[in-house]
Amino acid sequence: MSQVRVDAAAILPQLLDLSLQAGREILDVYAKGCSVSHKADSSPVTIADQRAEAVILAGLAKIAPDVPVVAEEECAAGRMPPHGALFFLVDPLDGTKEFLSRNGEFTVNIALVDAGVPVAGVVYAPVIGVIYAGYGHGDEAVAFKAKVEGGVIGPQSPIAVRSAPAEGLAAIGSRSHGAKETGDWLERFRVDTFVSAGSSLKFCLVAEGKADIYPRLGRTMEWDTAAGDAVLRAAGGLVTTLDGRPLVYGKREQSADSPYANPHFVAYGDRHLIAAAGEAA
């Protein structure tokens, strides 16, 4: 298929606005309550997921009509569009379990992927009222955090990963998934604190220097991780597989796994920890 180009910096404000629109749909359902059903893989889904995804798909069709969109609920229904190197990854409501438990730790995730790399991403937590975004890498990268009040994004504060402290690391992990394998993996480091959080907020906490490392030794899909990964990379960190290779996107055809399934991974703030993890394995 023919390949188009998109300026990640130019498109980011539109992705921010689109995430706010999706957040309004989610908050409407959140306030009223809703029933839950389950997909073929037994994961929960609500009308909030579906309404938010519909808003995002309609918006992306206007913003970048020639760029394919791989979205969670569309894929669950068997609708996976063909795509080249450039495509969007969308999780309209990451953390449905958090949504159902009403702890507020769920997010809207929108990412732009180019040649396997998430080059722009937005992570919006509508109940908490915070939004993260990032695009680019290296000296050209921009990553920021902002409060959202009354559906309006406030002043943007730049964020960056921190250097790993010598006295012990701050690790973060999933609130809704088992921690034994994670704890076993973390034994290669001295970890002074471990915090649990839901959804892709874990990537963002590493990105803003509130944690050093986030290992995930469990099932995830590309739409779960791409937006948070983009924010983290723009803030100076990196997400790798357990053998230290950067996590890649666009894994549609996988003989050993489902389309777009991720291997186990680790999100690092300080990239020096990647080599240290390999040496301690």
Residue in 212, 239, 217 with CA at minimum distance from that of residue 228 = 239
Q: What is the pLDDT of residue 252?
A: 93
Rounded Cα distance between 10 and 97, Å, is 33
The CATH topology of domain 169-280 is: D-Maltodextrin-Binding Protein; domain 2 (3.40.190)
8 three-class SS: helix
The CATH topology of domain 8-158 is: Fructose-1,6-Bisphosphatase; Chain A, domain 1 (3.30.540)
The pTM is what? 0.94
Q: List residues forming the annotated binding site for Mg(2+).
A: 72, 91, 93-94, 224
Q: What is the pLDDT of residue 177?
A: 57
Answer for the pair 107, 200: CB distance below 8 angstroms, yes or no. Answer: yes
Q: What is the pLDDT of residue 2?
A: 44
Q: List residues forming the annotated binding site.
A: 72, 91, 93-96, 224
Per-domain residue ranges for the chain?
8-158, 169-280
DSSP secondary structure string for all residues of 129-148 = TEEEEEE--GGG-EEEEEEE
Q: List residues forming the annotated binding site for substrate.
A: 72, 93-96, 224
Neighbour-count burial for 165-181, b at 16+ CB within 10 Å, e otherwise: eeeebbbbbbbbbebee
DSSP secondary structure string for all residues of 42-110 = S-EE-HHHHHHHHHHHHHHHHH-TTS-EEEHHHHHTT------SEEEEEEEEE-HHHHHHT-S--EEEE
Q: What is the pLDDT of residue 37?
A: 74
Neighbour-count burial for 236-270, b at 16+ CB within 10 Å, e otherwise: bbbbbebeeeebbbbbeeeeeeeebebbbbbbbbb
pLDDT in tens, the chain (281 residues): 445 788 999 999 999 999 999 999 999 998 887 767 776 666 767 889 999 999 999 999 999 999 999 999 999 989 999 999 999 999 999 988 888 888 888 999 999 999 999 999 999 999 999 999 999 988 889 999 999 999 999 999 999 999 999 889 999 987 655 567 888 899 999 999 998 888 899 999 999 999 999 999 989 999 999 999 999 999 999 999 999 999 999 999 888 899 999 999 999 999 999 998 987 76
